[in-house]
């Protein structure tokens, strides 16, 4: 039976604790200094993308109002029905949507990569206590904090979303499927009143019909497809995750440090809950921001042996906080 002492799941809160300016709010600030045009494009396409939007920008990528967005482009690219070449212009709006979204997301990924590779180094004094012996690490971050600050053997680390030290594309995105996005962007028709005649019912549907021209439907499908393409390949990543720890029959301790337990994170942690039922769990939380979500997750997944810690409290060296008034 293969057994490891500890399995660490590392999220962005871990890097933030170590003084790395890796929040998505920091990314927005970087964009404001290095690519204002991209911020403008997001405001134009998604609406007013304020600081709260950018703090959760990966999930917000799925929030595009595809009906409104594609409808505007379809209005600007209506086929000329009087032209003998009308058939050639039915997909003009579709092409315009595809090109604009492709340009937006390509620029986003390039800027995101450039931002990640210039992040500041972690602060040594912020190190926490890690039981690295007989431990494995799954790192959702792109940085080398574990390797450089804690001297963890890279063979014991899975960078599930990519790493700055490898020649590979970083994985980022939302968690919505094409079908889910299509449902979010469906037009809800009004319901007819009860007890009306068949003639009145026919008139009701005629009055409330929502018709779409072919070029409008093509543009809408292109918008939904473009956003759906930004989905994280969670199923593929979950297989990598399972392969990495699949040889382990027993894990004594599972430590979830800096992970927000968002919808795209949950499948990984649920896999662990099913596989290692006797493990002791430890979740980090910052100022009780995630406490309710942690408790709810543990209850839903029958995890009873767990505790919640603040990374500040498990630092290797605690910094003294001495009130200045004592010296007055």
What pTM, to 2 d.p., does this model score? 0.86
- What residues make up the domain containing 61? 24-118+176-229
186 and 77 share one domain: yes
Asked if 277 and 142 sit in the same domain, the reply is yes
SS3 assignment, position 253: strand
- Residues 238, 307 within the same domain: yes
Residue 260 within a domain: yes
Has residue 78 been placed in a domain?
A: yes
Closest CA to 283 of 305, 264, 263: 305
Residues 209 and 92 placed together within one structural domain of the fold: yes
Q: Is residue 326 part of a domain?
A: no
Is the domain of 196 the same as that of 95?
yes
Classify residue 267: in a domain, yes or no.
Answer: yes
pLDDT tens digits, the chain, 328 residues: what are they?
A: 477 899 999 999 999 999 999 999 999 999 999 999 999 999 999 999 999 999 999 999 999 999 999 999 999 887 655 555 545 566 889 999 999 999 999 999 999 999 999 999 999 999 999 998 899 999 999 999 999 999 999 999 999 999 998 777 899 999 999 999 999 998 655 566 777 776 665 565 555 544 457 788 899 999 999 999 999 999 999 999 999 998 888 999 999 999 999 989 999 999 999 999 999 999 999 988 999 999 999 999 999 999 999 999 999 875 544 454 443 3
| Secondary structure (DSSP) of 176-233 | --HHHHHHHTPPPPPPPPSS--HHHHHHHHHHT-----HHHHHHHHHHHHHHHTTB--
Q: What are phi and psi of 64, to 5 degrees?
A: -60, 130
Number of domains the chain is built from: 2
3-class DSSP state of 244? helix
Residues 28 and 156 in one domain: no
Domain boundary among 229, 245, 273: 229
Task: Provide φ and ψ at 132, rounded to 5°.
Answer: -75, -25
């Amino acid at each position: 039976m293969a057994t490891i002492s500890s399995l660490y799941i590392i999220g962005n809160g871990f890097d933030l604790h170590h003084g790395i300016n890796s929040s998505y709010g920091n990314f927005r600030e970087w964009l404001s200094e290095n690519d204002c045009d991209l911020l403008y494009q997001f405001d134009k396409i998604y609406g007013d993308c304020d600081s709260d939007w950018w703090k959760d920008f990966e999930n917000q990528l799925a929030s595009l109002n595809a009906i409104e967005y594609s409808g505007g482009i379809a209005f600007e690219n209506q086929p000329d029905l009087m032209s003998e070449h009308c058939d050639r212009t039915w997909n003009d709006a579709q092409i315009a949507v595809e090109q604009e979204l492709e340009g937006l997301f390509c620029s986003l990924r390039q800027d995101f990569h450039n931002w990640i590779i210039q992040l500041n180094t972690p602060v040594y004094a912020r190190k926490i206590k890690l039981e690295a012996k007989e431990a494995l690490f799954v790192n959702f971050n792109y940085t080398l904090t574990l390797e450089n600050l804690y001297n963890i053997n890279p063979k014991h680390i899975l960078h599930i979303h990519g790493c700055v030290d490898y020649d590979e594309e970083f994985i980022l995105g939302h968690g919505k499927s094409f079908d889910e996005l299509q449902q979010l962007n469906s037009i809800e028709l009004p319901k007819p009143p009860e007890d009306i005649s068949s003639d009145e019912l026919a008139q009701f549907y005629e009055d409330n019909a929502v018709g779409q021209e072919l070029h409008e439907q093509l543009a809408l499908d292109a918008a939904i497809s473009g956003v759906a393409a930004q989905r994280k390949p969670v199923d593929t990543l979950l297989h990598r995750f399972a392969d990495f720890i699949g040889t382990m029959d027993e894990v004594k301790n599972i430590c979830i440090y800096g992970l927000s337990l968002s919808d795209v994170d949950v499948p990984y942690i649920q896999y662990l809950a099913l596989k290692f039922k006797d493990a002791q769990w430890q979740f980090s939380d910052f100022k009780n921001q995630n406490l309710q979500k942690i408790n709810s997750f543990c209850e839903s997944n029958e995890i009873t042996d767990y505790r919640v810690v603040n990374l500040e409290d498990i630092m290797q060296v605690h910094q003294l906080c001495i009130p200045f008034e004592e010296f007055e």
